[in-house]
């Protein structure tokens, strides 16, 4: 639970810190000026993608209630964060690592959508079954009209009104 909560709190700061690491890392590890200019665009897209996936994860009610992400989210976030950190070292494998990071973001995005849909479907089914059970309780025992006690008869200019219960 501690690990899941740590990722819950880390995912939004990571959307800013990890792309900043790529910029700093590429500057330190001898990237050229043109690479940095192209990288700025990529880093902005990475930040938006990481914020979008964090928002999808945060949109689930169970995640907000427990203040912890699912284990699937932990695994995918670990892979993504590891790849982003590795891209920042500017090695010969940076192209491959960048491609794998894109695949990890896409996997995290679709995982978030699927988990959100599944949780919402479960919650809607629970709400409908509770609603149907409540409706069944109300209609199971119809009440008969009462025929005891005094009735109030109100006479109007139209004549006597029918008795009301």
Task: Enumerate the domain spans of the chain.
Answer: 2-139
pLDDT tier at 34 (50, 70, 90 boundaries)?
confident
Is the confidence at residue 51, as pLDDT, over 70? yes
- Buried b / exposed e over 24-57, threshold 16 CB at 10 Å, is ebbeeeebeeeeeeebeebbeebeebbeebbebb
> Cα(39)–Cα(47) distance, rounded to whole angstroms?
12
Residue 16 backbone dihedrals phi, psi, to 5 degrees: -105, -40
Is the confidence at residue 133, as pLDDT, over 70? yes
Is the confidence at residue 160, as pLDDT, over 70? no
Q: Are 85 and 19 in contact (CB under 8 A)?
A: no
Q: Locate tokens 């896409």: which residue?
A: 106
pLDDT tier at 115 (50, 70, 90 boundaries)?
very high
Per-residue pLDDT of 56-107, as tens digits, reads 999 999 999 999 999 999 999 999 999 999 998 888 898 899 999 999 999 9
User: Where would I find the H helices in the chain?
Assistant: 2-28, 33-58, 61-66, 71-87, 94-140
Q: Are 49 and 105 in contact (CB under 8 A)?
A: yes
Partnered with residue 127 across adjacent β-strands are none
> Cα(70)–Cα(42) distance, rounded to whole angstroms?
28
């Amino acid at each position: 639970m501690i690990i899941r909560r740590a990722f819950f709190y880390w995912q939004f700061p990571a959307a800013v810190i990890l792309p900043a690491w790529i910029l700093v890392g590429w500057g330190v590890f001898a990237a050229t000026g043109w690479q940095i200019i192209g990288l700025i665009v990529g880093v902005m897209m990475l930040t938006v993608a990481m914020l979008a996936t964090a928002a999808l994860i945060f949109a689930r009610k169970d995640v907000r209630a427990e203040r912890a992400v699912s284990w699937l989210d932990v695994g995918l976030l670990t892979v993504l964060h590891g790849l982003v950190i590795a891209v920042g070292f500017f090695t010969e494998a940076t192209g491959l690592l960048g491609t794998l990071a894109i695949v990890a973001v896409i996997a995290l995005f679709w995982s978030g959508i699927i988990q959100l849909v599944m949780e919402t479907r479960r919650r809607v089914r629970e709400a409908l079954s509770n609603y149907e059970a409540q409706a069944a309780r109300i209609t199971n025992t119809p009440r008969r009209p009462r025929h005891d006690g005094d009735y109030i008869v109100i006479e109007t200019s139209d004549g006597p009104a029918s008795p009301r219960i």
